[in-house]
């Protein structure tokens, strides 16, 4: 069984301690997508973070491997290495240049969504005015398809996400999102979005963030309840896991330089109290507890294997191949 973690966050700082990756590896995770930047982070910060994370991976080849194919992931699993790819949360680091997508791919970025909660010149955020995908956004979807990155719609406005899924020639994912039908929150996604994602051949990966799961101390059983809902709607073959654990290291200040207003990116009106400081996450051990929790909500062994990672392996196998 391959365990695929669709989204995890380290401090966006070149001195970030990489040891949380060992916790994931010890919990049996085979592949993790690590965030390297959001819309509020300037490109110099993102480049500095990518360089540092790449150096950490290169320094421990017995433990880590930067991967570009599902074959790489299987080889890494056989060798006891944690397979790693990077993701971007927002299109602003693309500098309105579609050719930046392929450049980021060369650096290890394997997944991207286009807006972080707020609108930009490419796409809409989920906590902003609905406009739809912009003409530049249509070109960006094409660039993501051609470069062979996973097109993600987390944090994206509802209407805009439907536009992206209609425009994409490849399966589209939600790397960390939860059903609105279970928890009323602007970050959560409608049944229409979930159905549209499945129609692309994609996967909805459930997040383990307290506010989006609707519980203060989220557990594997909470995750399983959300998995069961999406599986009931579109089938277990379209469900995955993106716990979105933020491995905070309080001694590091990874805020963007200059004027930075967290309440713009995490608006109080959208239900964020003091930004994200009060959010809690399902613990790393959730990976060990999930298979049993999924069986309890009625999934069979093949469905469990799919949700834990095989479904994302299928999608990545289709998307990461590029010309
Ligand atoms: Zn996120």
Tell me, in angstroms, the distance from the centre of ligand 1 to residue 155's CA.
6
pLDDT-wise least confident of 7-11, 88-92, 210-214, 309-313: 210-214
Q: Radius of gyration of the chain from Cα atoms?
A: 18
* pLDDT for position 277: 59
Give me ligand 1 centre to Cα 244, in Å.
Answer: 7
Residue 201 has a pLDDT of 98
**Quick one: average pLDDT of 85-94?**
98
The alpha carbon of 242 and the centre of ligand 1 are apart by a number of angstroms equal to 10
Residue 258: per-residue pLDDT: 87
pLDDT band at 255 (very low <50, low <70, confident <90, very high): very high
Q: How confident is the model at residue 44 (pLDDT cuts 50, 70, 90)?
A: very high
CA–CA distance, 108 with 278 (Å, rounded to integer)? 31
- pLDDT of res. 259: 86
Query: Which pLDDT score, from 0 to 100, does residue 86 have?
Result: 98
Rounded to the nearest whole angstrom, what is the distance from the C-alpha of residue 150 to the centroid of ligand 1? 15
CA 44–ligand 1 middle distance (angstroms)? 20
Kindly report the three-state secondary structure assignment for every residue of the chain: CCCEEEEEECCCCCCCCCCHHHHHHHCCCCEEEEEEEECCCCHHHHHHHHHHHHHHHHHCCCCEEECCCHHHHHHHHHCCCEEEEEEEECCHHHCCCCCHHHHHHHHCEEEEECCCCCCCCCCCECCCCCCCCCHHHHHHHHHHHHHCCEEECCCECHHHHHHHHHHCCCCEEECCCCECCCCCCCCCECHHHHHHHHHCCCCEEECCEHHHHCCCCCCHHHHHHHHHHHHHHHCHHHEEECCCEECCCCCCCCCCCCCCCHHHHCCHHHCCCCCCCCCCECCCCHHHHHHHHHHHCCCCHHHHHHHHHHHHHHHHHHHCCCC
Distance 7 CA to ligand 1 centre (A): 8
pLDDT at 137: 98
CA of 306 to the centre of ligand 1 (A): 23
- Find the 89 Cα to ligand 1 centroid distance in Å: 7
Distance 142 CA to ligand 1 centre (A): 22
Q: Which residues contact 166 (CB under 8 A, 6 or more apart)?
A: 196
Centre of ligand 1 from the C-alpha of residue 93, in Å: 15
Beta bridge partners of 84: 32, 66
Q: Note the pLDDT tens digit of each residue in 188-199.
A: 999 999 999 999
Summarised one tens digit per residue, pLDDT across range 289-323 is: 999 999 999 999 999 999 999 999 999 999 998 65
**Measured in angstroms, how far is the CA atom of residue 169 from the centroid of ligand 1?**
24
CATH architecture, domain 4-320: Alpha-Beta Barrel (3.20)
Q: How far is the CA of 176 from the centre of ligand 1 (A)?
A: 7
Rounded to two decimals, the pTM is 0.97
Domain boundaries, the chain: 4-320
Tell me the average pLDDT of the chain. 96
Give 154 Cα–ligand 1 centroid separation in angstroms: 7
What pLDDT is attached to residue 178?
A: 98
């Amino acid at each position: 069984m391959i365990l695929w973690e669709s989204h995890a966050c380290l401090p966006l700082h070149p001195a970030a301690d990489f040891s949380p990756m060992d916790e994931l590896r010890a919990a049996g995770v085979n592949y993790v997508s690590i965030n390297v930047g959001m819309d509020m982070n300037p490109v110099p910060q993102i480049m500095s973070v990518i360089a540092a994370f790449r150096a950490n991976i290169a320094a421990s080849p017995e433990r880590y491997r930067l991967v570009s194919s599902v074959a790489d992931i299987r080889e890494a699993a056989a060798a006891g290495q944690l397979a790693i790819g990077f993701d971007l949360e927002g299109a602003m680091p693309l500098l309105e240049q579609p050719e930046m997508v392929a450049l980021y791919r060369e650096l290890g970025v394997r997944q991207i969504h286009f807006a972080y909660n707020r609108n930009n010149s490419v796409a809409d955020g989920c906590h902003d005015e609905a406009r739809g995908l912009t003409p530049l956004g249509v070109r960006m979807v094409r660039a993501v398809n051609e470069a062979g990155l996973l097109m993600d719609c987390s944090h994206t406005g509802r209407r805009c996400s439907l536009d992206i899924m209609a425009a994409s020639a490849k399966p589209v994912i939600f790397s960390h999102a939860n059903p609105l039908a279970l928890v009323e929150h602007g970050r959560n996604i409608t049944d229409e979005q979930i159905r549209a994602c499945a129609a692309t051949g994609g996967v909805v990966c459930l997040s383990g963030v307290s506010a989006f799961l609707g519980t203060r101390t989220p557990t594997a059983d909470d995750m399983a309840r959300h998995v069961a809902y999406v599986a009931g709607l579109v089938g277990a073959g379209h469900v995955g896991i993106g716990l979105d654990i933020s491995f905070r290291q309080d001694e590091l200040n990874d805020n963007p330089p200059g004027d930075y207003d967290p309440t713009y990116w995490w608006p109080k009106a959208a239900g964020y109290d003091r930004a994200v400081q009060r959010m809690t996450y399902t613990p790393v051990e959730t990976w060990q507890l999930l298979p049993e929790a999924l069986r309890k909500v009625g999934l069979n062994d093949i469905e469990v294997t799919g949700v834990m990672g095989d479904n994302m392996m299928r999608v990545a196998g289709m998307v990461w191949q590029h010309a």
